[in-house]
Chain A
């Protein structure tokens, strides 16, 4: 069974930093692209960042580019999101999601974690 479990959320002040992690299990992690999607409570979904299967290519939404850094540790089956210069509008539930297999170009997300809450206040 595929499982994605996020951690690292919390309450921080504007301008501070936070590091989110996602522990993956139940599949061959190194074969899949991964991403982060966030959701403001009661609002919709916003794609934040993605990383391809081998970690060579990373992608960011305009709203976080230059402030967030996505990375992966295939040995530890872990996806990370380093968030700096946090702002109030970064407050959200952050979901870890599984993306396409290997070189497949189809970036829909077939498995989601329950998320970790980040509050910037």
Chain B
């Protein structure tokens, strides 16, 4: 089983500032990694797949990078609507994927 570890668990950021979230895999997942955003009371929304490919409708202030075991999600200038929980998910194991524990981005 590939274990996905996200850090930090909580990130306090002021609106307009940059947020950098990390996701680490216990073994290489190549670029088979997705990022999701979840707001309270809502279903998760796909942000990125293939480590850095933005999903439909995702604003350019969101970017993602990485390969192998280390991945990063960056929000360049946080808006109020960006405060949410972010999850990474590996799918290198095909139909047996696994999620990270999430990073909550909160208002500082």
Q: Enumerate chain A interface residues (CB-CB to B < 8 A).
A: 33, 35, 37, 44-47, 50, 52, 57, 59, 61, 95, 99, 105-115
Contact = CB atoms under 8 A, between A and B. Distances in A.
A107 B87 contact: no
Nearest to A112: B43
B3 interface: no
Interface residues of B, number: 23
Given A44-B100, A44-B101, A114-B43, A106 B91 contact: yes
Contact of B43 (A52, A105, A115): A115
Given A107-B91, A107-B95, 19 more contacts: A33-B95, A44-B102, A45-B36, A45-B44, A45-B102, A47-B98, A47-B99, A59-B96, A61-B96, A95-B44, A99-B95, A105-B94, A106-B91, A108-B34, A108-B91, A109-B44, A109-B46, A110-B49, A113-B43
A115 B42 CA distance: 9
A95 B97 CA distance: 15
Contact of A44 (B49, B95, B99): B99
Contacts of A57: 95
Interface of B: 32, 34, 36, 42-46, 49-50, 55, 87, 89, 91, 94-102
B95 A108 contact: no
B95 A59 contact: yes
Contacts of B96: 47, 50, 59, 61, 107
B99 A45 contact: yes
B94 A107 contact: yes
B46 A110 contact: yes
24 contacts: A33-B95, A44-B100, A44-B102, A45-B87, A45-B102, A46-B99, A47-B97, A47-B98, A47-B99, A50-B96, A52-B95, A57-B95, A59-B95, A99-B95, A106-B32, A106-B49, A107-B95, A108-B46, A108-B49, A108-B91, A108-B97, A109-B36, A112-B44, A113-B43
